[in-house]
Protein backbone atom coordinates (compact mmCIF):
# COMPACT_ATOMS: atom_id res chain seq x y z
CA UNK A 1 0.00 0.00 0.00
CA UNK A 2 2.97 2.27 -0.37
CA UNK A 3 2.00 2.98 -3.89
CA UNK A 4 0.96 6.60 -3.20
CA UNK A 5 3.63 7.21 -0.60
CA UNK A 6 5.26 9.96 -2.61
CA UNK A 7 2.03 11.59 -3.76
CA UNK A 8 2.90 14.65 -1.70
CA UNK A 9 5.43 15.61 -4.38
CA UNK A 10 2.68 15.70 -6.95
CA UNK A 11 0.41 17.72 -4.71
CA UNK A 12 3.16 20.27 -4.16
CA UNK A 13 3.82 20.63 -7.85
CA UNK A 14 0.09 20.96 -8.48
CA UNK A 15 -0.18 23.60 -5.76
CA UNK A 16 2.69 25.61 -7.19
CA UNK A 17 1.16 25.33 -10.65
CA UNK A 18 -2.23 26.44 -9.33
CA UNK A 19 -0.74 29.44 -7.57
CA UNK A 20 1.11 30.34 -10.77
CA UNK A 21 -2.01 30.14 -12.90
CA UNK A 22 -4.00 32.15 -10.35
CA UNK A 23 -1.34 34.84 -10.25
CA UNK A 24 -1.21 34.93 -14.04
CA UNK A 25 -4.98 35.32 -14.27
CA UNK A 26 -4.94 38.03 -11.59
CA UNK A 27 -2.18 39.99 -13.34
CA UNK A 28 -3.90 39.62 -16.67
CA UNK A 29 -7.21 40.85 -15.30
CA UNK A 30 -5.33 43.73 -13.69
CA UNK A 31 -3.24 44.86 -16.64
CA UNK A 32 -5.32 44.11 -19.74
CA UNK A 33 -7.87 46.90 -20.31
CA UNK A 34 -11.54 45.97 -20.09
CA UNK A 35 -12.27 46.77 -23.70
CA UNK A 36 -9.35 44.75 -25.12
CA UNK A 37 -10.86 42.03 -27.28
CA UNK A 38 -14.33 43.55 -27.47
CA UNK A 39 -14.10 43.77 -31.27
CA UNK A 40 -10.77 42.07 -31.89
CA UNK A 41 -7.16 41.97 -30.73
CA UNK A 42 -7.07 45.63 -29.74
CA UNK A 43 -8.42 48.11 -27.19
CA UNK A 44 -11.94 49.03 -28.31
CA UNK A 45 -11.84 52.17 -26.14
CA UNK A 46 -9.21 53.65 -28.46
CA UNK A 47 -11.95 53.90 -31.12
CA UNK A 48 -13.98 56.13 -28.80
CA UNK A 49 -10.88 58.12 -27.93
CA UNK A 50 -10.09 58.79 -31.59
CA UNK A 51 -13.75 59.60 -32.32
CA UNK A 52 -13.67 62.19 -29.51
CA UNK A 53 -10.84 64.25 -31.06
CA UNK A 54 -11.80 67.88 -31.70
CA UNK A 55 -13.17 68.90 -35.09
CA UNK A 56 -11.19 71.68 -36.82
CA UNK A 57 -13.16 72.16 -40.05
CA UNK A 58 -16.74 73.07 -39.17
CA UNK A 59 -18.25 71.73 -42.40
CA UNK A 60 -20.22 73.74 -44.94
CA UNK A 61 -23.63 72.97 -43.39
CA UNK A 62 -22.52 74.76 -40.24
CA UNK A 63 -21.28 77.78 -42.22
CA UNK A 64 -24.48 77.94 -44.25
CA UNK A 65 -26.65 78.03 -41.15
CA UNK A 66 -25.56 81.66 -40.60
CA UNK A 67 -24.20 82.74 -43.99
CA UNK A 68 -27.29 81.93 -46.06
CA UNK A 69 -26.77 85.10 -48.13
CA UNK A 70 -23.37 83.87 -49.35
CA UNK A 71 -24.85 80.47 -50.11
CA UNK A 72 -27.46 82.08 -52.37
CA UNK A 73 -24.78 83.93 -54.35
CA UNK A 74 -22.51 80.90 -54.50
CA UNK A 75 -25.26 78.50 -55.60
CA UNK A 76 -25.92 80.54 -58.72
CA UNK A 77 -22.27 80.72 -59.79
CA UNK A 78 -19.41 78.52 -60.92
CA UNK A 79 -18.21 77.96 -57.36
CA UNK A 80 -21.43 76.25 -56.27
CA UNK A 81 -19.59 73.01 -55.55
CA UNK A 82 -16.72 74.61 -53.65
CA UNK A 83 -17.17 74.39 -49.89
CA UNK A 84 -16.55 77.44 -47.69
CA UNK A 85 -13.51 76.07 -45.92
CA UNK A 86 -11.81 75.17 -49.20
CA UNK A 87 -10.91 78.87 -49.46
CA UNK A 88 -11.51 80.29 -45.97
CA UNK A 89 -9.59 77.54 -44.15
CA UNK A 90 -10.62 75.67 -41.00
CA UNK A 91 -13.31 77.63 -39.13
CA UNK A 92 -14.64 75.39 -36.34
CA UNK A 93 -13.37 77.86 -33.73
CA UNK A 94 -15.20 80.69 -35.47
CA UNK A 95 -18.36 78.57 -35.67
CA UNK A 96 -18.22 77.86 -31.93
CA UNK A 97 -17.63 81.47 -30.97
CA UNK A 98 -18.47 83.80 -33.87
CA UNK A 99 -18.31 86.85 -31.63
CA UNK A 100 -14.66 86.74 -30.68
CA UNK A 101 -12.99 84.51 -33.30
CA UNK A 102 -12.99 86.45 -36.58
CA UNK A 103 -11.65 84.72 -39.69
CA UNK A 104 -9.01 86.52 -41.75
CA UNK A 105 -10.17 87.27 -45.29
CA UNK A 106 -7.93 85.39 -47.75
CA UNK A 107 -5.70 87.33 -50.17
CA UNK A 108 -7.20 86.56 -53.58
CA UNK A 109 -3.93 87.13 -55.45
CA UNK A 110 -2.54 84.07 -53.62
CA UNK A 111 -5.69 82.09 -53.00
CA UNK A 112 -7.17 81.91 -56.50
CA UNK A 113 -3.86 80.95 -58.10
CA UNK A 114 -3.70 77.79 -55.99
CA UNK A 115 -6.41 76.33 -58.19
CA UNK A 116 -6.46 78.51 -61.29
CA UNK A 117 -2.75 78.90 -62.07
CA UNK A 118 -2.13 77.15 -65.38
CA UNK A 119 -0.27 73.84 -65.16
CA UNK A 120 -0.05 71.32 -67.98
CA UNK A 121 -0.88 68.46 -65.59
CA UNK A 122 -4.26 69.95 -64.76
CA UNK A 123 -7.27 68.39 -66.48
CA UNK A 124 -8.20 70.13 -69.72
CA UNK A 125 -11.72 71.05 -68.58
CA UNK A 126 -10.47 73.11 -65.67
CA UNK A 127 -10.35 76.91 -66.23
CA UNK A 128 -6.78 78.08 -65.61
CA UNK A 129 -4.73 81.16 -66.50
CA UNK A 130 -1.11 82.23 -66.30
CA UNK A 131 -1.70 84.82 -63.58
CA UNK A 132 1.37 86.86 -64.54
CA UNK A 133 -0.13 87.50 -67.99
CA UNK A 134 -3.77 87.49 -66.94
CA UNK A 135 -3.75 90.00 -64.10
CA UNK A 136 -0.17 91.34 -63.75
CA UNK A 137 -0.21 90.78 -60.01
CA UNK A 138 -3.51 92.54 -59.35
CA UNK A 139 -5.66 90.77 -56.77
CA UNK A 140 -8.31 88.67 -58.55
CA UNK A 141 -11.19 90.33 -56.72
CA UNK A 142 -10.41 93.60 -58.55
CA UNK A 143 -12.57 92.19 -61.35
CA UNK A 144 -14.06 88.87 -60.10
CA UNK A 145 -16.24 88.28 -57.08
CA UNK A 146 -14.89 85.07 -55.57
CA UNK A 147 -18.29 83.65 -54.57
CA UNK A 148 -19.60 83.97 -58.14
CA UNK A 149 -16.54 84.57 -60.30
CA UNK A 150 -17.97 84.71 -63.83
CA UNK A 151 -17.86 88.23 -65.30
CA UNK A 152 -20.85 89.40 -67.35
CA UNK A 153 -24.26 87.81 -67.80
CA UNK A 154 -24.90 84.24 -66.68
CA UNK B 1 -1.15 51.24 8.79
CA UNK B 2 -3.20 48.32 10.16
CA UNK B 3 -4.51 45.40 8.16
CA UNK B 4 -8.08 46.70 7.81
CA UNK B 5 -6.88 50.04 6.44
CA UNK B 6 -4.56 48.32 3.99
CA UNK B 7 -7.33 46.11 2.63
CA UNK B 8 -9.70 49.08 2.28
CA UNK B 9 -6.99 51.01 0.44
CA UNK B 10 -6.31 48.13 -1.96
CA UNK B 11 -10.01 47.85 -2.75
CA UNK B 12 -10.32 51.58 -3.38
CA UNK B 13 -7.21 51.55 -5.59
CA UNK B 14 -8.64 48.66 -7.62
CA UNK B 15 -11.88 50.56 -8.22
CA UNK B 16 -9.96 53.71 -9.16
CA UNK B 17 -7.73 51.74 -11.54
CA UNK B 18 -10.79 50.39 -13.36
CA UNK B 19 -11.71 53.97 -14.17
CA UNK B 20 -8.20 54.79 -15.33
CA UNK B 21 -8.23 51.83 -17.70
CA UNK B 22 -11.76 52.49 -18.92
CA UNK B 23 -11.02 56.18 -19.58
CA UNK B 24 -14.15 56.40 -21.72
CA UNK B 25 -14.30 59.84 -23.31
CA UNK B 26 -17.46 61.33 -24.72
CA UNK B 27 -18.42 59.40 -27.83
CA UNK B 28 -20.85 60.11 -30.63
CA UNK B 29 -24.22 59.08 -29.18
CA UNK B 30 -26.13 58.54 -32.44
CA UNK B 31 -23.39 56.70 -34.30
CA UNK B 32 -23.96 52.97 -34.85
CA UNK B 33 -20.66 51.34 -35.65
CA UNK B 34 -22.25 48.31 -37.36
CA UNK B 35 -24.20 50.42 -39.85
CA UNK B 36 -21.20 51.74 -41.77
CA UNK B 37 -18.40 50.50 -43.98
CA UNK B 38 -16.27 53.45 -44.95
CA UNK B 39 -14.34 53.92 -48.16
CA UNK B 40 -13.12 56.73 -50.36
CA UNK B 41 -13.77 57.42 -54.01
CA UNK B 42 -11.20 59.42 -55.96
CA UNK B 43 -11.83 60.71 -59.46
CA UNK B 44 -8.39 61.28 -60.97
CA UNK B 45 -9.87 63.32 -63.85
CA UNK B 46 -11.09 65.92 -61.36
CA UNK B 47 -7.87 66.43 -59.39
CA UNK B 48 -6.25 69.78 -60.14
CA UNK B 49 -3.30 69.36 -57.77
CA UNK B 50 -4.17 72.44 -55.71
CA UNK B 51 -3.04 70.89 -52.43
CA UNK B 52 -6.19 71.88 -50.54
CA UNK B 53 -6.64 68.33 -49.23
CA UNK B 54 -3.07 68.16 -47.93
CA UNK B 55 -3.38 71.49 -46.10
CA UNK B 56 -6.82 70.67 -44.71
CA UNK B 57 -5.60 67.28 -43.48
CA UNK B 58 -2.57 68.84 -41.79
CA UNK B 59 -4.77 71.43 -40.03
CA UNK B 60 -7.46 68.97 -39.03
CA UNK B 61 -5.15 66.27 -37.70
CA UNK B 62 -2.19 68.30 -36.52
CA UNK B 63 0.14 66.48 -38.91
CA UNK B 64 3.81 67.38 -38.23
CA UNK B 65 5.65 69.41 -40.89
CA UNK B 66 7.25 67.22 -43.54
CA UNK B 67 4.92 64.25 -42.91
CA UNK B 68 1.69 63.48 -44.73
CA UNK B 69 -1.48 61.53 -44.06
CA UNK B 70 -2.59 62.40 -47.56
CA UNK B 71 -0.55 63.76 -50.44
CA UNK B 72 -0.73 64.38 -54.18
CA UNK B 73 1.59 62.89 -56.79
CA UNK B 74 2.12 64.22 -60.30
CA UNK B 75 2.66 61.50 -62.89
CA UNK B 76 4.32 62.01 -66.27
CA UNK B 77 4.10 59.14 -68.73
CA UNK B 78 4.99 58.64 -72.38
CA UNK B 79 5.25 55.60 -74.64
CA UNK B 80 8.87 54.91 -73.74
CA UNK B 81 8.31 55.19 -69.98
CA UNK B 82 5.11 53.27 -69.29
CA UNK B 83 6.89 51.26 -66.63
CA UNK B 84 9.05 54.10 -65.29
CA UNK B 85 6.87 57.20 -65.15
CA UNK B 86 8.25 60.38 -63.61
CA UNK B 87 6.54 60.92 -60.27
CA UNK B 88 7.04 64.02 -58.17
CA UNK B 89 5.35 65.33 -55.06
CA UNK B 90 7.11 68.47 -53.80
CA UNK B 91 6.20 68.85 -50.11
CA UNK B 92 3.36 66.37 -50.70
CA UNK B 93 1.78 68.83 -53.14
CA UNK B 94 0.86 70.96 -50.13
CA UNK B 95 1.63 74.20 -51.95
CA UNK B 96 0.71 73.09 -55.45
CA UNK B 97 3.10 72.04 -58.21
CA UNK B 98 5.74 73.92 -60.23
CA UNK B 99 5.38 73.93 -64.03
CA UNK B 100 7.78 71.00 -64.40
CA UNK B 101 9.20 68.33 -62.08
CA UNK B 102 12.57 69.26 -60.57
CA UNK B 103 14.30 66.46 -62.50
CA UNK B 104 12.89 67.59 -65.89
CA UNK B 105 9.92 66.44 -67.94
CA UNK B 106 9.39 63.55 -70.31
CA UNK B 107 9.11 64.45 -74.00
CA UNK B 108 8.25 61.17 -75.79
CA UNK B 109 5.27 60.22 -77.92
CA UNK B 110 1.79 60.16 -76.34
CA UNK B 111 3.00 62.21 -73.41
CA UNK B 112 0.47 62.71 -70.66
CA UNK B 113 0.50 64.01 -67.13
CA UNK B 114 -1.99 64.07 -64.30
CA UNK B 115 -2.35 64.29 -60.53
CA UNK B 116 -3.12 61.36 -58.24
CA UNK B 117 -4.20 62.03 -54.64
CA UNK B 118 -3.06 59.35 -52.22
CA UNK B 119 -4.09 58.37 -48.74
CA UNK B 120 -4.50 55.28 -46.56
CA UNK B 121 -6.50 52.72 -48.52
CA UNK B 122 -8.21 51.42 -45.37
CA UNK B 123 -7.66 47.88 -46.59
CA UNK B 124 -9.99 45.09 -45.55
CA UNK B 125 -7.04 42.70 -45.24
CA UNK B 126 -4.51 45.30 -44.26
CA UNK B 127 -0.88 44.16 -44.09
CA UNK B 128 -0.13 46.85 -41.50
CA UNK B 129 -2.54 45.54 -38.88
CA UNK B 130 -1.37 41.97 -39.41
CA UNK B 131 2.22 42.75 -38.47
CA UNK B 132 1.53 44.79 -35.33
CA UNK B 133 2.96 42.82 -32.41
CA UNK B 134 0.92 44.54 -29.68
CA UNK B 135 -2.55 45.08 -31.14
CA UNK B 136 -2.01 48.80 -31.49
CA UNK B 137 -3.36 49.03 -35.01
CA UNK B 138 -6.58 47.46 -36.16
CA UNK B 139 -9.54 47.66 -38.51
CA UNK B 140 -12.64 49.01 -36.78
CA UNK B 141 -16.01 47.28 -37.26
CA UNK B 142 -16.89 50.13 -39.66
CA UNK B 143 -13.86 49.50 -41.84
CA UNK B 144 -11.36 52.17 -40.82
CA UNK B 145 -7.74 51.30 -40.02
CA UNK B 146 -6.69 53.16 -36.86
CA UNK B 147 -3.70 53.36 -34.51
CA UNK B 148 -4.03 53.19 -30.73
CA UNK B 149 -1.34 55.66 -29.73
CA UNK B 150 -1.36 54.44 -26.14
CA UNK B 151 -0.43 50.93 -27.24
CA UNK B 152 1.93 51.70 -30.12
CA UNK B 153 5.56 50.96 -29.33
CA UNK B 154 6.91 52.75 -32.40
CA UNK B 155 8.52 49.55 -33.70
CA UNK B 156 7.94 50.57 -37.35
CA UNK B 157 6.80 47.12 -38.54
CA UNK B 158 3.59 48.62 -39.91
CA UNK B 159 5.45 51.43 -41.68
CA UNK B 160 7.37 48.82 -43.63
CA UNK B 161 4.37 46.57 -44.16
CA UNK B 162 2.12 49.18 -45.82
CA UNK B 163 2.47 48.67 -49.60
CA UNK B 164 1.20 52.21 -50.21
CA UNK B 165 3.63 54.09 -47.97
CA UNK B 166 0.82 55.64 -45.95
CA UNK B 167 2.34 55.44 -42.47
CA UNK B 168 5.01 57.41 -40.68
CA UNK B 169 6.45 57.67 -37.20
CA UNK B 170 5.50 60.88 -35.42
CA UNK B 171 8.82 62.61 -34.70
CA UNK B 172 7.90 63.67 -31.14
CA UNK B 173 5.36 61.09 -29.97
CA UNK B 174 7.37 58.23 -31.55
CA UNK B 175 4.19 56.35 -32.48
CA UNK B 176 2.90 55.30 -35.89
CA UNK B 177 0.45 57.71 -37.46
CA UNK B 178 -1.67 57.59 -40.57
CA UNK B 179 -4.92 58.75 -42.14
CA UNK B 180 -7.82 58.03 -39.77
CA UNK B 181 -10.33 58.82 -42.53
CA UNK B 182 -11.11 61.70 -40.12
CA UNK B 183 -12.77 59.19 -37.81
CA UNK B 184 -13.58 62.01 -35.36
CA UNK B 185 -15.55 63.72 -38.14
CA UNK B 186 -17.29 60.87 -39.95
CA UNK B 187 -18.68 59.53 -36.67
CA UNK B 188 -20.28 62.94 -36.13
CA UNK B 189 -21.96 62.98 -39.55
CA UNK B 190 -19.36 65.22 -41.20
CA UNK B 191 -17.23 64.35 -44.19
CA UNK B 192 -13.44 64.13 -44.00
CA UNK B 193 -11.36 67.33 -43.96
CA UNK B 194 -9.85 66.52 -47.38
CA UNK B 195 -13.27 65.97 -48.95
CA UNK B 196 -14.58 69.12 -47.29
CA UNK B 197 -11.71 71.17 -48.74
CA UNK B 198 -11.56 69.56 -52.21
CA UNK B 199 -12.85 72.24 -54.60
CA UNK B 200 -13.64 69.94 -57.54
CA UNK B 201 -15.20 66.98 -55.74
CA UNK B 202 -12.34 64.74 -56.80
CA UNK B 203 -12.56 63.04 -53.41
CA UNK B 204 -15.77 61.61 -52.02
CA UNK B 205 -16.23 59.87 -48.72
CA UNK B 206 -18.33 56.75 -49.30
CA UNK B 207 -20.26 54.44 -47.02
CA UNK B 208 -20.55 51.06 -48.71
CA UNK B 209 -23.11 49.84 -46.19
CA UNK B 210 -25.47 52.69 -47.03
CA UNK B 211 -27.56 51.57 -50.03
CA UNK B 212 -28.38 55.20 -50.84
CA UNK B 213 -24.73 56.24 -51.11
CA UNK B 214 -23.98 57.57 -54.63
CA UNK B 215 -20.85 55.37 -54.78
CA UNK B 216 -22.92 52.30 -55.77
CA UNK B 217 -24.30 54.07 -58.82
CA UNK B 218 -20.90 55.55 -59.65
CA UNK B 219 -19.16 52.17 -59.49
CA UNK B 220 -21.68 50.68 -61.90
CA UNK B 221 -21.22 53.41 -64.47
CA UNK B 222 -17.47 54.04 -64.28
CA UNK B 223 -14.31 52.05 -64.52
CA UNK B 224 -13.03 51.95 -60.96
CA UNK B 225 -9.73 50.48 -59.76
CA UNK B 226 -7.71 50.16 -56.59
CA UNK B 227 -3.96 50.60 -56.26
CA UNK B 228 -1.79 47.46 -56.38
CA UNK B 229 -4.67 45.01 -56.73
CA UNK B 230 -2.16 42.18 -57.09
CA UNK B 231 -1.36 42.55 -53.37
CA UNK B 232 -4.91 41.49 -52.46
CA UNK B 233 -5.13 43.99 -49.63
CA UNK B 234 -8.81 44.70 -50.18
CA UNK B 235 -8.03 48.38 -50.61
CA UNK B 236 -11.01 50.70 -50.17
CA UNK B 237 -9.63 53.83 -51.81
CA UNK B 238 -11.34 53.48 -55.18
CA UNK B 239 -9.86 55.34 -58.13
CA UNK B 240 -11.89 56.32 -61.17
CA UNK B 241 -10.14 57.07 -64.47
CA UNK B 242 -6.83 55.80 -63.18
CA UNK B 243 -3.94 55.42 -65.61
CA UNK B 244 -2.31 51.99 -65.80
CA UNK B 245 1.11 53.42 -64.93
CA UNK B 246 0.07 54.50 -61.42
CA UNK B 247 1.58 52.38 -58.67
- What ipTM was reported for this prediction? 0.87
pLDDT tens digits along A58-103:
999 999 999 999 999 999 999 999 999 999 999 999 999 999 999 9
> Quick check: helix, strand or coil at residue B147?
strand
Give the model's confidence band at A7: pLDDT under 50 very low, under 70 low, under 90 confident, else very high: confident
Q: Are residues A117 and A96 in the same domain?
A: no
Report whether CATH 3.30.70.20 matches the domain B33-240. yes
Indicate yes or no: CB of B33 within 8 angstroms of CB of A56.
no
Beginning with the edge strand found earlier in the chain, give each strand of the sheet holding B38-43 in spatial order: B203-207, B38-43, B237-240, B224-225
Q: How confident is the model at residue A137 (pLDDT cuts 50, 70, 90)?
A: confident
- Tell me whether residue A154 is in a domain: no
Domain that holds residue A78: 57-103
b vs e for A15-34, b when ≥16 Cβ sit within 10 Å of the residue's Cβ?
Answer: eeeeeeeeeeeeeeeeeebe
Is residue A153 one of the residues assigned to a domain?
A: no
User: Among all residues of chain B, which has the CA nearest to that of A89?
Assistant: B56
**Are B151 and A46 within 8 A, CB to CB?**
yes
- Parallel/antiparallel/unpaired status of strands B203-207 and B176-177: unpaired
User: Chain A residue with minimal CA distance to B20?
Assistant: A33
- Out of A34, A39, A55, closest to residue B190 by CB: A55
Is A47's CB within 8 Å of B28's CB?
Answer: no
Are the beta carbons of B196 and A86 separated by less than 8 Å? yes
C-alpha A103 chain-centroid distance: 20
Instruction: Please report residues of A whose CB lies closer than 8 A to that of B183.
Output: 47, 50-51, 53
Answer whether A56 sits within 8 Å of B193, measured CB to CB.
yes
Distance from CA of B229 to the nearest CA of A (A): 25
Q: What per-residue confidence (pLDDT) applies to A4?
A: 64
- Boundary residue ending a domain (A66, A83, A103): A103
Find, among B39, B12, B60, B4, the residue nearest to B144 by Cα: B39
pLDDT at residue A19 greater than cutoff 90: yes
Distance, in Å, from the CA atom of A120 to the CA atom of B88, rounded to the nearest integer, reads: 14
Nearest C-alpha in B relative to A37: B135
In a domain, residue A27? The reply is yes
- For chain B, give every domain's residue range: 33-240
> Mutating which of A41, A56, A64, A88 best tests the B interface, going by the most B Cβ atoms within 10 A?
A56
Q: Give which of B31, B56, B111 to mutate to test A binding, by max A Cβ within 10 Å.
A: B56
> Which uninterrupted H or E stretch holds A66?
helix A60-66
Put simply, the answer to whether B197 touches A59 (Cβ < 8 Å) is no
CA–CA distances in Å: residue B140 to residues B125, B153, B184, B188: 12, 20, 13, 16
In a domain, A63, yes or no: yes
Q: What is the mean pLDDT of each run of 10 residues along chain B (247 residues)?
A: 69 58 55 95 96 97 97 95 93 94 89 96 96 96 96 96 97 97 96 97 96 94 94 96 90
Confidence of residue A5 (pLDDT cuts 50, 70, 90): confident
Mean pLDDT value across residues A49-59: 96
Q: Do B138 and A34 touch (CB under 8 A)?
A: no
Which residue, among A62, A86, A125, would best test binding to B if mutated, counting the most B CBs under 10 Å from its CB? A86
Amino acid sequence: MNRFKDSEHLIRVAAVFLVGVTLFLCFRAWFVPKSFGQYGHYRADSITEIAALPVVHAGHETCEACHADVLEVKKAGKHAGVNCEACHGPQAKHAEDPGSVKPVLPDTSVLCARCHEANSAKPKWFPAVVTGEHSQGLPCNTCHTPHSPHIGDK
Amino acid sequence: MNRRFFITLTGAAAIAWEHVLAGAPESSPNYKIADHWWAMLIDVDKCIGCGNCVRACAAENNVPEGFFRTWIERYQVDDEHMMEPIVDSPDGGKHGFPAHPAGGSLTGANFKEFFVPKLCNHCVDSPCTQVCPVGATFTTPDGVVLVDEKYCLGCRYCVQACPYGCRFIHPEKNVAQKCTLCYHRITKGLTTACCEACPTGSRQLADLRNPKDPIHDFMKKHSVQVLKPQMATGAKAFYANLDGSVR
